[in-house]
Structure 1
Amino acid sequence: MSADANPAERPATLPTQPAGAWLDAVRWDADGLVPVIAQEQGSGDVLMFAWMNREALALTAELGRAVYYSRSRQRLWRKGEESGHVQQVHEIRLDCDQDVVLLKVTQLGHEPGIACHTGRHACFFQRLEGQGAEAQWQTVEPVLKDPETIYNR
């Protein structure tokens, strides 16, 4: 990659440790997974929550694009492989307990970026309104694109 390459096209920077040592620092759960939060680089919006296994995290760092592990499909899930809504990774952070990963991303594929399979900017589009027995979840973010057209269902 040339030094004058667009910074938005550069892969995430890998830690300077022996190959694979940085992956060993992650505290994987009993299923070999770690929870991951995707946060939008510019706005700071929390876009989504997902899981990664060791291979997904290694590929994410190598490619500079988010690759998750689908627990329901039991396979790697390259964000945007069906929808085109790719997440370009700028930073990979590990929390203080080393058991949660934070990705700082740019959501690509639609303006504004769509991270949620419901066609919304972020997966956290419901807010609890009210108190006690009267509390209800309210949808507070609009659908930006019909999911039927995103996934050609």
Structure 2
Amino acid sequence: MGNQTKVTEFIILGLSNNLQMQIFLFLGFLVVYLVTLLANMVIMLVIRADPHLHTPMYFFLSHLSFVDICYFSAIVPNMLVHFLAEHKTISVNSCIEQMFFFFLLAATEICILSAMAYDHYAAICDPLRYMDTMSTRICVQLASSAWAIGFFHALLNTVSALMFLKYCQSY
């Protein structure tokens, strides 16, 4: 018979208990978050606006920018709230949800970077057949595969965390 206490939230200890340091960290992370959002949005808009950039390399770069926006948005806003919050907790469901999106976006980013590496390999090692090797259909398949692999990676790890990890309340 194990501990039957049901955990509903986790306490977030944070990086510092000093209020001035928390405000400094909040402002620092907020600036980095806003710059990241702006830079990635500009990259995506420029790629969409200029027809000369409708090539496989920029297709993957656009997807990478979108993944980065989602990646930062999955973690940083909640972290910013907790820098200034009095009650620093996160519900178990929110934690699991955040973990799922973190794993999803991290694995997707790695797969998109791998697709970009393959694109560069094809451009350098077989330039005469590059347009056949990296057709629009292949690029879409590689991007879709990146998202599918990311989803299954996240699902596997999240379900494993839910099924096999036991949480107990401390007193």
TM interval, shorter chain, is 0.3 to 0.5
Larger Rg computed on CA atoms: 2
TM-score under structure 2 length normalisation: 0.31
Higher strand share: 1
Higher relative contact order (CA 8 A, sep 6+): 2
Higher helix share: 2
